[in-house]
């Protein structure tokens, strides 16, 4: 899915793969978000979109 396809008010099913590329997802570069992502490896979770920053696309 592309960012242009994301709609405000929709809920999407997001999957976190078992193996995350170490060079891109190192704990020192991701900060506090690394720890929860490590718990979610290999799972799916619902993600509700409440706002989209169109300039960030």
What is the DSSP annotation of the chain?
--GGG--TT-EEEEE--SS--TTTS-HHHHGGGHHHHHHTTT-EEEEE-----GGG-
The pTM of this model reads 0.58
So what's the pLDDT on residue 31? 73
Q: Per-residue pLDDT tens for 5-51?
A: 888 999 999 888 887 777 777 767 777 777 777 788 889 999 999 98
């Amino acid at each position: 899915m592309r960012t242009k396809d994301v709609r405000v008010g929709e809920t999407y099913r997001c999957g976190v793969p078992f193996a995350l590329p170490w060079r891109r997802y190192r704990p020192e570069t991701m900060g506090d978000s690394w720890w929860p992502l490590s718990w979610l490896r290999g799972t799916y979770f619902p993600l509700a979109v409440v706002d989209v920053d169109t300039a960030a696309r």
